[in-house]
Amino acid sequence: MYRILVIEDEKKVAQALQEGLQRHGYEVDTASNGEEGFFLLNTETYDLLLLDLMLPGHSGYDILRTMREKGMKIPVLILSARDSTDDKVTGLDMGADDYLGKPFAFPELLARIRVLLRRGGQKPEAKRTLADLEMDLIHHTVKRGNTSISLTNKEFDLLKYLLENKEQIVSREMLARQVWEVVNRVTPMDNLIDVHITRLRHKIDEPFEPKLLHTVRGVGFILSDKRKDNHGSE
Q: What are phi and psi of 214, to 5 degrees?
A: -115, 145
Number of residues that bind Ca ion (CB under 5 A): 3
Q: Which of 9/27 has CB closer to Ca ion?
A: 9
Q: Which is nearer to Ca ion, 55 or 151 (CB)?
A: 55
* In the complex, least distance from residue 192 CB atom to Ca ion, rounded to whole angstroms: 33
Nearer to Ca ion, 52 or 205 (CB): 52
Residue 212 near residue 223 (C-beta atoms within 8 A): yes
Element (H, E) at 216: strand 213-216
Q: Find the part of the chain contacting Ca ion (CB under 5 A) among 9-17, 105-113, 178-186, 200-208.
A: 9-17
We find the least distance from the C-beta atom of residue 4 to Ca ion, in angstroms, to be 17
**Spatial separation of the C-alpha atoms in residues 205 and 228, rounded to whole Å:** 13
Judged by CB under 5 A, the residue of 2, 9, 101, 141 near Ca ion is 9
- CB of 32 or CB of 230, closer to Ca ion: 32
Mask for 30-69, x = binds Ca ion (CB under 5 A): ----------------------x-x---------------
Q: Which is nearer to Ca ion, 52 or 98 (CB)?
A: 52
- Residue by residue, DSSP assigns 111-167 as HHHHHHHHHTTT----EEEETTEEEETTTTEEEETTEEE---HHHHHHHHHHHHTTT
Burial class (CB in 10 A: 0-12, 13-18, 19+), 10: middle
Binding site for Ca ion (CB under 5 A): 9, 52, 54
